[in-house]
Amino acid sequence: MVKQHYLPRMPGFFSRDRFGAPQLAALLMLFLFAAQCVWLIAANPMSPSESARLERGLTQWQQGRINLQDPYRSPLYYLIASLPIANYRGAGDAASMSRWRWQVRLPWLIFGLLLGASIWYVARRLYGNAGGYIALALYCFSPLMIAQAASFYVQPEVTAAWGAFGAVFTAIAVAHTLYAPRRVLWNWRRILLLGLSLALAIGSQFSLWVVLPMALGLLLYLAPGRRGAALAIFGASCTVALVVLWSAYSFSFAAFSAGLQRAAFWDVTWEALRVPFGYKDLLVRLVRTSPALVVFVPWALATFGVWRRARYFGNTAPLVVAVIFLFLGLINPHQPGLGFELVAMPMLFVFIAGVLADLLETRQRQIVMGVVVGLLTAYIVWSVTSLGRIGRL
């Protein structure tokens, strides 16, 4: 069941409602997430591919020359990557940039923490404290998510994941506020957040334009009586996203137009659905993302399928979005990086948290609690000990 709490008045910023035991527990998990990322950053020297990525952004920051060679990502991705050293004027090789590895990996760590905080916020609002703890634990000790935030032998795509996650759940949040007797402009903060989320998602991965119809569909579905207002908010958010993306092209209409013409918005290979290797590879990626998913995903899906109480919008929405992204990952096998599969993982964490939180409200609460705590404890221990082995390599 969706859990909503209505307070008679807004609490103070430092009140117990905002900073109590649940928030402190979430901060502790995010701190442990950051500590694991720092451990990997220390163990991972600058690679030539990372230096090349930084050089693309530095060229634009310092010389104004926009790089349009990547058909999968906009210049926004490279500007974010090189922002901490925008004034650095050294050679673009691993040796000369190695001393900057802490600075240049800071943006990915920040976005990783923002994604974790967003997962906690959404899961807790939907499912209560138990859901928030489960979702955040799955995220904070996910080997792949840690590697993404630490830029550990991967091309970081955590900005795309945070942008897509923010676009979906901000659209849901906006839709639920439209029935309040307020003007559309009252949602200006959510409009800006939705626009920024769309820009980060699409700017980091052009193929994530698919979040546009997702967000619009959620707005129209959840606010059937205020569809005019929903369209106005969506249009304003798209305008914000467009301006942000245009700024990544130095507000050059010619460069923006050329970049969009070269962009790979749809790189589908339908034959991939007939190749067994694709499904096996997807399963391997899921296991590498979080070994706990081997148990939690079948458990959550089985419960969702046979138990009517678990089939409500709060659980269904993240599951449907995750399935769509996983399907898109299957039919886009040539896209670089993890792409759609990575974007699906936070949605999957939220879905699992929702189903398990519902089970924790049944008469079998003690049994479910014991199994969940045991599995999460084993998962956390495995993750931490694995990092210890990496540090000794």
Say what the pLDDT of residue 356 is.
Answer: 97
**Does residue 377 fall inside a structural domain?**
yes
Does 391 have pLDDT greater than 90? no
**Does residue 188 fall inside a structural domain?**
yes
**Does residue 180 fall inside a structural domain?**
yes
Task: Please indicate, yes or no, whether the overall pTM of this predicted structure exceeds 0.85.
Answer: yes
The count of domains in the chain is 1
Higher pLDDT, 351 or 21: 351
Classify 363 as helix, strand or coil: coil
d(CA 197, CA 163): 4
Contact 130, 362 (CB under 8 A): no
d(CA 107, CA 200): 13
**Does residue 15 fall inside a structural domain?**
no
Q: Which helix (H) or strand (E) holds 210?
A: none
pLDDT band (50, 70, 90) for residue 92: low
Degrees, nearest 5: CA angle 227-232-234: 90
Sign of the dihedral defined by the CA atoms of residues 185, 190, 194, 195, in that order: positive
Torsion of CA 329, 332, 337, 339, to 10 degrees: -40
d(CA 198, CA 214): 11
Q: Which helix (H) or strand (E) holds 57?
A: helix 48-63
Say what the pLDDT of residue 95 is.
Answer: 56
Say what the pLDDT of residue 15 is.
Answer: 44
**Does residue 6 fall inside a structural domain?**
no
Average pLDDT over residues 18-27: 85
d(CA 73, CA 61): 17
Q: Which domain holds residue 68?
A: 21-391
Say what the pLDDT of residue 90 is.
Answer: 60
Per-residue pLDDT of 165-193, as tens digits, reads 999 999 999 988 887 666 666 678 889 99
d(CA 280, CA 319): 20
Q: Provide the mean pLDDT of the chain.
A: 88
Average pLDDT over residues 217-222: 94
Say what the pLDDT of residue 96 is.
Answer: 61
**Does residue 4 fall inside a structural domain?**
no
**Does residue 324 fall inside a structural domain?**
yes
Degrees, nearest 5: CA angle 175-157-298: 70
Q: What's the distance, CA 234 to chain centroid?
A: 20
Contact 199, 163 (CB under 8 A): yes
**Does residue 327 fall inside a structural domain?**
yes
d(CA 141, CA 127): 20
